[in-house]
Amino acid sequence: MEIGIKFAWLILGYKRQEQIPYICPMPFHTPTYNIETEEQVETTTATPAVKFDEKLKNEILSRIHEEKAVIVHCSYNAAIDGGIRIWNSTFLIDKASGDRSNMHHAENISIAPEWTYVPEGKTHRFTLIFAPLPKSCEFFDLLEDIPQAGGFFIQNIKRNKSDVYHVKIT
């Protein structure tokens, strides 16, 4: 359930001068008051009925599924004090076809040439977002293809329906 912030008036008595504003978390029901009569008023929200053509609905859902990003949540346990980073040349590679899915975004990790410091014994978590894998893909590799030693390489990740994965980087 989504929690929003709503501005409301807290009434500390019967006089309008004693009303003070505050911010309160929702989703509990907040009564509405008529400012002239100071009586509680019930409010309702009507949702219009919308009918979709089934063929159009299935086409839209199919496109969403086809264009869906692949999300890889990574955790790195630092054996020694040092840095960690990701290169833009990081891909998911379909084991059967060799097709590569480009990395579109990295969250909570520096992009080379910058570094993210990780103290010894600590775990650093970050997320990588990639272009979709081919529909036929069943297994894939995560490869950080870099011009030096030490790139990430996780082999034989089994594809799942959600295309959200959790891997440990060593």
Beta carbons of 114 and 85 less than 8 angstroms apart: yes
Residues of the domain holding 29: 5-41
Q: What is the mean pLDDT of each run of 10 residues along the chain (170 residues)?
A: 32 36 39 59 52 68 66 94 94 97 94 94 95 96 93 95 93
Say what the pLDDT of residue 66 is.
56
Residue 32 and residue 96 in one domain: no
DSSP string, 107-167: ESSPBTTS-EEE-TT-EEEEEEEEPPPPTT--EEEEEE--SSS---EEEEEEP-SS-EEEE
pLDDT of residue 51: 60
pLDDT of residue 71: 95
**N residues, the chain:** 170
The pLDDT of residue 12 is 30
With CA atoms as reference, report the closest residue to 27 among 14, 45, 39: 45
For residue 170, what pLDDT is reported?
Answer: 81
Whether residue 13 is found in the same domain as residue 72: no
In this predicted structure, what is the pLDDT of residue 22? 37
Question: What is the model's pLDDT at position 60?
Answer: 61
Give domain status of residue 52, yes or no: no
CA contacts within 13 A on the Cβ side of 36:
0
Residue 84 and residue 34 in one domain: no
CA 113 to chain centroid: 25
77, 118: one domain: yes
pLDDT of 33: 53
State residue 19's pLDDT score.
Answer: 41
Tell whether 60 is covered by a domain: no
Amino acid (one-letter) located at 38: E
Residue-level pLDDT at 9: 30
Question: Residue 54: what pLDDT?
Answer: 78
Number of domain units in the chain:
2
